[in-house]
Structure 1
Amino acid sequence: MRVAFVSMTTTRHRDTEGNRRLERLAHQLADRGHDVTVFCAAWWDDYRDKRTIEGVTYHGVTVSPAPTSFAARLPVLLARYRPDVIHVRPRPPRAVFAASSGGTLARAPLVLEWYGDEELADSRTVRLLLREATAVVTPSEMVRTQVRERDVADERSHEIPDGIDFSLIEDTEPGEEIEVAFAHPLDEAANLDSLLLALAELRGRDWSVTVVGDGPLRPDYERQAADLRIDDRITFAGECSQQERIAIYRGAHTFVQTAYREYFARELLRALAAGCVGIVEYQAESSAHELIENHRRSFRVTDPQELADAIVESGDLERRTIDEDFARFDHRQILEAYLDLYRDVQESHGVL
């Protein structure tokens, strides 16, 4: 299958979860033998308009992110490429309309990837660009609800979660045994305060915690832990590689998720697959609770006191280092879900 991805800014320009997800998918498709080109603004220094990285061709539509020029040149380039499917990110909006025009010329359906981190304020423009797509893909039910509220019919909205490398989790040796793991960039959305306050309630119990992640609020959280007199049992591990994180999760009994905002709780998913009991503090702008709705080894809480109680209760559940129930989120299954969607939109577009 020939797939055109359209994203004016790549992770080299703007490193967002949505951009990472799209590029990850592009490379997974290329690994499976599909013909994949990402139409983007060039980030490289020479004058070539194309670069190929690990089987994926990056076609520089413009030499730098320039929405007007990008949108003007894109339709003809897509028509020449003649893709079977066009898969587009919604930022900037005019790139979506240009991709739709290119799809008309190439007789290819348009799939729009709406991750949730697009930061587009003009609601009228958002509704118009969502109408251009044959299908809209979201990573969670929470985000899917947001696009439904923008007049996207159920049959055009599709939830496809983020994937994980389940074999990597199986092959990674468990790290040191600890009671609780936490992972999130230590920024304004982390809400590590809830966990620290809960742990302070359990000061008289025996426990150890590892906090994975770094960020501008790390000094504040370290100071808060010291003020609460629990810093001697908390390890701030900083940034860790994916394999280092998995080793921590496989050694942990419980993973606590408190972040205010998660379009898809990827680290929680990895931890659950690594056998952790999951404790999720409900937040209106987080989809994390969706991962534990039908999972027995989990707790849903609303405040630090309930969180403290759940940590205690989680101790009654057996310690595991893997949970096969989450193998369904392996990258291979997620890739098949995308391929099934591509075939469906091709059929509805009358090109099969």
Structure 2
Amino acid sequence: MRIAFVSFETVHHRASETNERFRSVVELLRDRGHDVHVFCAQFWADEAGRLERDGITYHGVSVGLDACESFLLRLPVALRATNPDVVHAGANPPGQVLAARSGATLSRAPLLVEWYGDGGVEGGRRRCLAARASDRIVTPSELVRRKVRELGADGNAVDVVPNGVDVERVRETDPGEEVDVVYARRLDAGANLESLLLALAELRDREWRARVLGDGPERDAYEELAGDLRIDDRVEFAGDASLDERIAAYRGAHVFAQTAQHCVFPTEMLWALAAGCVGVVEYHTDSCAHELLEGCERGFRTTSEEELADVLLEARDLEHRDYDERFAEFDHEAVGERYLDAYRDLREDRGLF
């Protein structure tokens, strides 16, 4: 199948959750043997408007991120020239969805839109039009699905497809040092690590050790808070770590704590759950992390630091594991198949198979 991916900005321009998700989907379909084309702003230095890299064909529809309007004007014709079977567009900027709609119509191909959500799902005329222009929308969680429906998208045309993990990679990684609690996220204003630190401080009279993975502008403030709470000798701020290092840490840990205030999909918690951790989530209205624990016997949802402290104690009674086969359904292969099913359904609806 020839798949045309549309994303004005890519991970080659800027690292973000949206761009990382888009790249992972592109690579999933490439790895399954499909003919993958990415239409984006040119990020390579030479004058050629086309780049072949790692089995992916990149089309530089415009040059640089200052030429968004030029990108939108040129996109429909560029798509038509490739004759795709499916057009798969990112939701940001919303104008690219409308341009991709025109290109998909010219190509007689269905349009699927990847609406990840960390770029915002607030209203606005173009965003509402984009929500209605898609044949199918994919979101990472029910939280984002609900917000997209509020923009006017047909609820029956919005599917939830989670981020994936590499289950085999989890199983092949040796467990790291054993700790009671692990936390992993960029340490910025939305990390809300203070909730976990306050809960741990309530357990000073118990034996425990915690590890914090990640770095960011609020790290010094969080380390200072741990000192003020007199738990800095038991909380290790380990800084940034590679994926393999994080997986090893999760396989060695007993509990993964998720307290961030904003989360469109808890990817790190999914890796940790697959690596056997007990999941503990502090509920926030702008976070979907609790969704991952629905029906999970090794998961707890809380609403306060006091509750969080109680749950951390309760979680200690569960056995330590370094792998949980329940989360094999989130393996990359399974996630890739869900996208392919969506493409096939769209083409069948149009009588193209």
Aligned-pair CA distance for 1:349: 2.3
1:121 Cα deviation from its structure 2 partner: 4.9
Task: State the match for 2:158 in structure 1.
Answer: 157
Partner of 2:326: 325
Within 2, Cα distance between the matches of 1:171 and 1:120? 38
Displacement of 1:154? 2.1
- Partner in structure 2 of residue 46 of structure 1: 46
Structure 2: unaligned runs, 5 residues or longer: none
Q: 2:121, 2:148 within 8 Å by CA — same for their partners in 1?
A: no
Is this contact kept in 2: 1:280–1:288, CA < 8 A? yes
Percent identity, aligned pairs only, is: 52
Offset from partner CA, 1:273-303 (integer Å, 9 cap, x none): 1111111000110000001110011111111
Query: C-alpha distance in 1, partners of 2:277/2:132?
Result: 41
1:50, distance to aligned residue in structure 2 (A): 1.2
Partner Cα distance (2:78, 2:39) in 1: 9
2-structure distance, mates of 1:269, 1:94: 32
1:174 aligns with 2:175: yes
Alignment of 1:198-237 (within 5 A): 198-237=199-238
Contact 1:198 1:308 in 2 (8 A): yes
1:1-55 deviations in Å (ceiling 9; x for gaps):
0000000011122221111111111112111110000000011111011112210
Q: 1:120 to 1:154 in 2, by over 3 A?
A: closer
For 1:196, the equivalent position in structure 2 comes to 197
Q: Name structure 1 gaps, 5 residues minimum.
A: none
Q: Secondary structure at the residue paired with 2:72? A: helix
Q: Is the 8 A contact 1:27 1:54 kept in 2?
A: no
Secondary structure of 1:243's counterpart equals helix
Alpha-carbon deviation of 1:124?
Answer: 2.3
Does 19-28 or 331-340 show the bigger shift?
19-28
Give the 3 Å change call, closer, same or farther, for CA 129–322 of structure 1 in structure 2. Answer: same
Paired position in structure 1 for 2:37: 37
Aligned partner of residue 313 in structure 1, secondary structure:
helix
Residue 72 of structure 1 aligns with which residue?
Answer: 73
1:55 corresponding residue in structure 2? 55
Post-superposition CA distance 1:325-351 (Å, at most 9, x none): 000000000000000000011111232
Shift of 1:141: 0.7
1:170-193: CA deviation from partner (whole Å, max 9, x where unpaired): 000000111000011000110000
Q: Distance in 2 between matches of 1:167 and 1:110?
A: 32
**C-alpha separation between the residues in 2 aligned to 1:154 and 1:71?**
27
Name the SS for the 1:48 alignment partner.
coil
* d(CA) in 1 for partners of 2:322, 2:125: 48
CA contact (8 A) 2:123 2:151 kept: no
The letter of the residue matching 2:72 is: A
Q: Contact between 1:67 and 1:94, CA under 8 Å: does it hold in 2?
A: no
TM-score when scaled to structure 1? 0.98
Q: State how far apart, in whole Å, the 1-side matches of 2:50 and 2:98 are.
A: 23
One-letter identity of the residue aligned with 2:15: D
Aligned-residue offset at 1:67: 1.6
Q: Following TM superposition, by how much is the alpha carbon of 1:120 offset from its aligned partner in structure 2, in angstroms? A: 5.9
Contact kept in structure 1, 2:196 and 2:259, CA below 8 Å:
yes
Alpha-carbon distance in 1 for matches of 2:83, 2:283: 45
User: Hey, what's the Cα distance between the residues in 2 that align with 1:351 and 1:100?
Assistant: 17
Taking structure 1 as reference, are residues 119 and 154 closer, same or farther at Cα in structure 2, changes over 3 Å only?
A: closer
1:98 aligned partner: 99
Aligned counterpart, 1:293: 294
Query: Equivalent residue for 2:118?
Result: 117
Structure-2 residue corresponding to 1:2 = 2
Q: Specify the code of the residue in structure 2 equivalent to 1:296.
A: E
Once residues 185 and 118 of structure 1 are traced to their aligned partners in structure 2, the CA distance between those partners, rounded to angstroms, is: 17
User: C-alpha offsets along residues 72-107 of structure 1, whole Å, 9 cap, x if unaligned?
Assistant: 111111111000000001222222111111111110
For residue 232 of structure 1, give the secondary structure of its aligned residue in structure 2: coil
One-letter code aligned to 1:188: A
Cα deviation code 1:157-178 (max 9, x no counterpart): 0000000001000000000111
